[in-house]
Amino acid sequence: MKKIFSLLLILLATFPTFAHVGSSGVLLQGQAGPYRVLVNVQPPDVIPGTAKVTVFVENGGANQVQARPIYFRSGDEGAPTYDDIPAVAGQLGQFDGIVWLMEWGSSSVQVVIDGDKGKGELVIPIVAVSTAERDMPVELGIGLGLLGLLLVLLLVTVIGASVSDGLLRPGQHLTPQQKRKRWINMGIATVVCGVVLYTGSSWWDSWAADYRQWIYKPLKAKTQVAIEDGQRVFSLQVDTTNWKNQRRGNMLSYLVPDHGKLMHLFLVRVPGLDAFAHLHPERRDSTTFQAYLPKLPAGKYLVYADVVQYSGFAETIMDTVEIPALPRAEVLALKKTDDEDTYVVTAPLNNAKKVPLDENVVICGLPGTRTQLTDGSYVVWEGTAGRAFEAGKPYQLSFEVFDPDGKPATLEPYLGMPGHAAIVRSDGSVYIHLHPTGTYVMAAEQSLTGRIADTARTYKRPVPAVFRDSIDRYLASLKTMPAAEREKYLMQQMGMTTATASTHTGMEHGHRISFPYAFPKEGQYRIFLQIKRNGQVITSVFDARVTDSTTL
């Protein structure tokens, strides 16, 4: 079993890891002016290509939906015209269509809705990159090869006949000189055709090689845990080898904070997914990030580190790391890199075995069950016990939080949002950091919205050192704020004001929180829900079973 799982971990390094792992689409739940909508965008895996856009208008009568791509480099001034997104017959409020993506990099889809409530629009940030290379089907290749050979033979034959047989009168035969001339010209034609075919093949190979250089290559990093003064220190060093060929340049100087943090690090112990941490490493130098580890049990952990560039290009760095046991049995005080760093321990996936009770040990829940939290309150995951989810189908994962006495709990903002969730498949091939607004990155939306408002057709990048210094000073200023003031500021920065919280974040009630998500494939998943109460970040854990739609 360990050998099989180690092989799976190696294979994970080949998966596309922009913004999240294993989930190609982007779900956004929010407001388009007066309309509450859920938008699902499925980007292509080859650029240029078409993105599938599905819009669900939940209120009002929408008469027309249009969409267009807006690229970060060219902005609104260089964007193409809108394409109509047709309504789906028999499905009230649903519109399906496509949008062409012609440029590589950070992009967005701008959706405009027109109906009985007037007009509304919103921007869905996406990453437009090539992640695949199409292979020609063997049958098609053989057919085209035979057809090409036939055309070459016909061309050579026609050229030979045109300089010999075409000069004959009825009843005449070719002279030896004419026969020789025909063969010479057919030979020349064969050589010319060969040169043309070779030149075409070379051009195609060159074009294909250039295309391969543009295929997205996930960020790589070396992670390790060292013991320093009795503390376990996690270190992540980004591998910049071959960055020149990958056209990455000095991208690490252009990282921007998301929810007030430059990096969101998730650690999940394998194979049981029974230990989880959400940390926020600090940048030590241009390539190195470090964080003190909490009281996590020893073992092998999956590493998912989320970062965002100023252009809105969001990526997840993946690795595995071996975390050793604490250097001594009793540690009086473990250091924290960030006050909002959290961890939790629970039972292994598909295993009811009890774990030793501790202040950070929780019981794992299922749909329809009541799950106790460490502060005495509890969470109920709305749904039917034993329910299986269908792969590829959008769901609202809704949770209700109650005080120990059964009254609806009051949730406090956590990193500028009512709550967060991380979802991991049992083999680690799917990971996503979810918010009530959807699967997109908030910092990416802010960057692209700001770029659209910019009237410059071409964006001019700031000086790397100056930009990085400004970000470091901004992060330092956030750390000096009291927690309540910082949360209020982050909420305002991301448009999560009190007035819009219920419509823009999935919080229909103060104690109820929803996350839109479509599980990408069948399997067992673990959901780590994070909320904040009484100044304390609390994590609850739930398991989900997903079935392939063809087997339902």
- Chain-centroid distance, C-alpha 123: 16
Per residue in 176-202, pLDDT tens?
887 788 888 888 889 988 898 889 888
Structure confidence by residue, pLDDT tens digits, 448-476: 888 888 887 778 888 999 999 999 999 99
According to DSSP H, which parts of 215-250 are helical? none
Indicate if 210 and 224 belong to the same structural domain: no
In the predicted structure, residue 251 carries a pLDDT above the cut 80 = yes
The domain boundary residue, chosen from 332, 361, 390: 361
Query: Three-state SS for 516?
Result: strand
Here the CATH number for the domain that contains residue 35 is 2.60.40.10
* Most distant CA atoms of the chain, gap in Å: 112
Q: What is the pLDDT of residues 330-350, one digit of tens each?
A: 556 889 999 999 999 998 987
Q: Which residue, of 163, 183, 214, is where some domain finishes? A: 214
Residues 326 and 228 reside in one and the same domain = yes
552: helix, coil or strand? coil
- Report the C-alpha gap between 29 and 181 in whole angstroms: 75
335 and 231 within one domain: yes
Each residue's pLDDT tens digit, 210-237: 777 778 888 899 999 999 988 999 999 9
Give 168's pLDDT tier (boundaries 50, 70, 90). low
pLDDT band, very low/low/confident/very high, at 18 (cuts 50, 70, 90): low
Residue 6 has pLDDT above 70, yes or no: no
Confidence label for 523 from pLDDT (cuts 50, 70 and 90): very high
Residues 59 and 155 in one domain: no
Q: Which of 155, 185, 214 is the last residue of a domain?
A: 214
| Residue 338: per-residue pLDDT | 92
> Strands, E, within 72-163: which ranges?
83-84, 94-101, 105-115, 118-128
On the question of pLDDT at 430 being above 90, the answer is yes
Q: What percent of the chain lies above the pLDDT cut of 90?
A: 46
- How confident is the model over 264-321, as pLDDT tens digits? 999 999 999 999 999 999 999 989 999 999 999 999 999 999 999 999 999 999 999 9
**Mean pLDDT across 79-93:** 92
pLDDT level of residue 162 (50, 70, 90 thresholds): confident
Query: Do 222 and 335 sit in the same domain of this protein?
Result: yes
- Quote the pLDDT of residue 358: 58
Q: pLDDT value at position 497?
A: 55
Query: Contact at 8 Å (CB) between 246 and 237?
Result: no
SS3 state at 523: strand
Where residue 318 sits, what CATH number does that domain have?
2.60.40.1930
Q: How many domains does the chain have?
A: 3
Global pTM reads 0.85
Per-residue pLDDT reduced to its tens digit, 387-426? 789 998 889 999 999 998 889 988 899 998 889 999 999 9
- Helix (DSSP H) and strand (DSSP E) numbers for the chain: 7, 28
Examine the pLDDT at 365 and tell me if it is beyond 70.
yes
Residue 3's pLDDT band (boundaries 50, 70, 90)? Answer: very low
- Structure confidence at residue 386 as a pLDDT band (50, 70, 90): confident
Question: What does the pLDDT read at residue 502?
Answer: 45
- Per the structure, the complete domain to which residue 84 belongs is given by 15-128
Q: What is the structure's pLDDT at 551?
A: 52
pLDDT surpasses 50 at 7: no
What pLDDT does 498 receive? 43
Residue 549 lies in a domain: no
Residue 13, pLDDT score? 43
Mean pLDDT for the chain overall: 85
Structure tokens at 49: 């290509």
Residue 419 lies in a domain: no
Q: Is residue 87 part of a domain?
A: yes
Strand, helix or coil for residue 425? strand
Q: How far apart are the first and last CA of the chain?
A: 28
